[in-house]
Chain A
Amino acid sequence: MHDGSPARIEADLESLWTYVPCPTLVIDQAGVVRALSASAQSLLPEAAPGSRLQDAVGWLSQAHHRLVRPTPVPDGRGSSVVSGLVGERTFDAHHAILPGGEVAWSLVEDTGQVLRQAQHAMTGEQERAAFLLEASSVLLASLDIDRCREATVQLAARDLADAAVVVTPASRGRRMPIFYGDSSGKVEQRSVDADPGSVTGLSEALRGFPAVPARLIDAAKLPDWLIPHSFTRPVSSVMIVPLPGHGASAGALVLLRRAGAEAFSEDEEELARLFAARAGAALSAARLYVEQAAVTRTLMRDLLPPQLRSVHGIEFAGGYRASEDYGVVGGDFYDLHPAATSDGETLVVLGDVCGKGLDAAMLTGKIRNTLHALTPLASDHQAVLELLNEAMLSAEHARFATLVLASVVNRDGEVVLRLTSAGHLPPLIVRDGGRVEQAATRGTLIGALPSITVQSFETTLAPGETCVLYTDGVTEARGGYHLGEERLGAALAECAGLPAEAVVERVMMLASEWTSPHVHDDIAVVAITAPRRTHLSAVDGRTRGRFTA
Chain B
Amino acid sequence: MNFSLTMTTAPRSACLRVGGDLDYETIDELVDTTSQLLGRQVGLTDLHLDFSRLTFLDSAALSGLLLLRRRTSEAGVVLHLDNRPAFVDRVLQVTGVAGHFVSSHSDAESASR
* Assembly CA distance A480 to B64 (angstroms): 23
B50 contacts partner chain A, Cβ-Cβ < 8 Å: no
Which of B5-13, B32-40, B94-102, B103-111 lies at the interface? B94-102
- Contact check, B63 vs A400: say whether CB atoms are below 8 A apart: yes
B85 contacts partner chain A, Cβ-Cβ < 8 Å: yes
- Contact check, A475 vs B66: say whether CB atoms are below 8 A apart: no
| Proximity string of chain B (76-103) to chain A, C-beta cutoff 8 Å, 1 when within and 0 when not | 0000000001111011001111001000
CB distance from A78 to the nearest CB of B (A): 87
**A355/B24 contact (C-beta < 8 A), A474-B91, A476-B58, A518-B56 known:** yes
**A444/B95 contact (C-beta < 8 A), A478-B56, A479-B55 known:** yes
- B87 contacts which of A352, A397, A398, A478 (Cβ < 8 Å)? A478
User: Residues on A close to B: CB < 8 A?
Assistant: 331, 352, 354-356, 397-400, 402, 422-425, 442-445, 448-449, 452-454, 473-481, 518, 520
- Contact check, A354 vs B96: say whether CB atoms are below 8 A apart: no
CB distance from B57 to the nearest CB of A (A): 6
B59 contacts partner chain A, Cβ-Cβ < 8 Å: yes
- Contact check, B96 vs A423: say whether CB atoms are below 8 A apart: yes
**A444/B96 contact (C-beta < 8 A), A356-B24, A398-B66, A518-B21 known:** yes
**Residue among A398, A422, A442, A453 with the most chain B CB within 10 A?**
A398
* Assembly CA distance A355 to B60 (angstroms): 5
* Assembly CA distance A454 to B95 (angstroms): 11
* Assembly CA distance A272 to B67 (angstroms): 53
- Contact check, B86 vs A479: say whether CB atoms are below 8 A apart: yes
Interface residues on B, range: 20 to 34
- Contact check, B87 vs A425: say whether CB atoms are below 8 A apart: no
Sample 18 A-B pairs with CB under 8 A, ordered by A number: A354-B60, A354-B62, A355-B24, A398-B64, A402-B94, A402-B95, A424-B95, A442-B96, A448-B67, A449-B66, A449-B100, A473-B59, A474-B91, A475-B57, A475-B58, A475-B59, A476-B23, A477-B56
Which chain A residue has the least Cβ–Cβ distance from B93?
A442
User: Residues on B close to A: CB < 8 A?
Assistant: 21, 23-24, 54-60, 62-64, 66-67, 70, 85-88, 90-91, 94-97, 100
**Residue among A443, A445, A453 with the most chain B CB within 10 A?**
A445
Which chain A residue has the least Cβ–Cβ distance from B67?
A398
Chain B residues with CB under 8 A of A448: 63, 66-67, 97
Chain A residues with CB under 8 A of B95: 400, 402, 423-424, 444-445, 474-475
**Residue among A402, A454, A477 with the most chain B CB within 10 A?**
A477
CB distance from B92 to the nearest CB of A (A): 10
CB distance from B32 to the nearest CB of A (A): 14
- Contact check, B91 vs A475: say whether CB atoms are below 8 A apart: yes
**A397/B63 contact (C-beta < 8 A), A445-B97, A476-B57 known:** yes
Chain A residues with CB under 8 A of B58: 475-476, 518, 520
- Contact check, B94 vs A354: say whether CB atoms are below 8 A apart: no
* Assembly CA distance A100 to B56 (angstroms): 107
CB distance from B74 to the nearest CB of A (A): 11
* Assembly CA distance A479 to B57 (angstroms): 9
Chain A residues with CB under 8 A of B55: 478-479
* Assembly CA distance A363 to B90 (angstroms): 25
- Contact check, B59 vs A479: say whether CB atoms are below 8 A apart: no
Which chain A residue has the least Cβ–Cβ distance from B57?
A477
CB distance from B97 to the nearest CB of A (A): 6
CB distance from A446 to the nearest CB of B (A): 10
- Contact check, A355 vs B63: say whether CB atoms are below 8 A apart: yes
Chain A residues with CB under 8 A of B64: 398
- Contact check, B63 vs A354: say whether CB atoms are below 8 A apart: yes
- A424 contacts which of B23, B63, B85, B94 (Cβ < 8 Å)? B94
Q: Which 7 A-B pairs have the closest CB atoms?
A: A354-B59, A444-B96, A475-B59, A423-B95, A398-B67, A398-B66, A477-B87
